[in-house]
Amino acid sequence: MSKKLPLSDFRAVRHKLEPHEFAVSEGQDAPPTHPIDEETWTNITHLPDDVAIRTSDHDGHRLALLDSLQCDWGKATGDPLNPDELFNCMLDAGDAFQCANFLFLHGYYRAAMAELRVALELVMIGAYGNLRPDDPDYVVWKTNGSELGFTTFRKRMHAMLRADQGKWLFAKGEFPEQTFRELCNFTHSRPDSSDGALWRSNGPVYVNEAIMGTFFMTVSVYAICYLLVRIARPKFVLPKDSRIVFEEDWVPNRKGIAEAFEQLYGERAVVLSKQR
């Protein structure tokens, strides 16, 4: 039997924004026209609410880090008044990161991984666009007329970059390519990467192993994306609080990420700790 959280717990109360709190508003909200009934609301929210409470009970420090990284990403996106080719891709990747955080909180681990794939692919394409804005295939991609994606642009980056620009990062078998391939498993819900495989149940349900896998993958994708951004914007300055993705020993692919960071950013990737 489920029980309500006490009102002393801030998670027990929902909030609705006032019209003036939106950047674009059309005045006062219209009165409700077809309110949801309690049974339907419960059927939709019962399980994810349970996971959200359990996740925020035990993984608050991880949620805080992911939220910090997502906020930093928004600041790093660029100047909206003077956007480069990477700007819109980073903006959309930021939406994917935010969505991944929400899905992570509510136990939709496979869907969160799929959003991380979206973010990684967008930044790969945007980085290529910054370096080759007139490439006909890239222009077609921008007009929604192309199915080209991560792999095609990764190969082209590898073909055109010099060794001192991080060419090795785009080679087949290196961790960016391996990470993308792993994320594709979740996007396509392959047998060992499906919702059922992660939950070992119908769900969503709180699963610590899936939480850890999603968390580590998210941090890894941020690190790869910031390497791509630096290649596309050689003068890009990494947000201070996001240095953690290059300075923690527990980040996946630590050796390769540290090597790439030191090459591209010209700084040592100092190890801060060995556990999370």
- pLDDT beyond 60 at 273: no
Structural domains of the chain, count: 1
How would residue 268 be classed by pLDDT, with cut points 50, 70 and 90? confident
Q: Cβ neighbours of residue 171 under 8 Å, at least 6 residues apart?
A: 158, 177
Q: Which residue has the tokens 């489920």?
A: 2
Give me the pLDDT at residue 40, please: 97
Check residues 180 and 274 and name the one with the higher pLDDT. 180
Residue 85 belongs to a domain: yes
Residue 39 belongs to a domain: no
Mean pLDDT on 47-67: 98
Q: Which of 27-36, 63-72, 238-247 has the lowest mean pLDDT?
A: 27-36
Give me the pLDDT at residue 269, please: 78
How would residue 1 be classed by pLDDT, with cut points 50, 70 and 90? low
Residue 99 belongs to a domain: yes
- pLDDT beyond 60 at 259: yes
Tell me the whole-structure pTM to 2 decimals. Answer: 0.94
Residue 89 belongs to a domain: yes
Q: Using one digit for the tens of pLDDT, what is the confidence trace for 221-230?
A: 999 999 999 9
Residue 16 belongs to a domain: no
- pLDDT beyond 60 at 276: no
Give me the pLDDT at residue 157, please: 98
Residue 248 belongs to a domain: no
Q: Which of 100-104, 149-153, 163-167, 265-269 has the lowest mean pLDDT?
A: 265-269
Residue 139 belongs to a domain: yes
Q: Which two tokens stand for residue 87?
A: 């700007």
- pLDDT beyond 70 at 184: yes
Under 8 Å between Cβ of 56 and 11: yes
Give me the pLDDT at residue 16, please: 85
Average pLDDT taken over every residue of the chain: 94
Range of the domain at 85: 45-242
Q: Using one digit for the tens of pLDDT, what is the confidence trace for 100-157?
A: 999 999 999 999 999 999 999 999 999 999 999 999 999 999 988 788 899 999 999 9
C-alpha–C-alpha distance, residues 51 and 207, integer Å: 9
Residue 224 belongs to a domain: yes
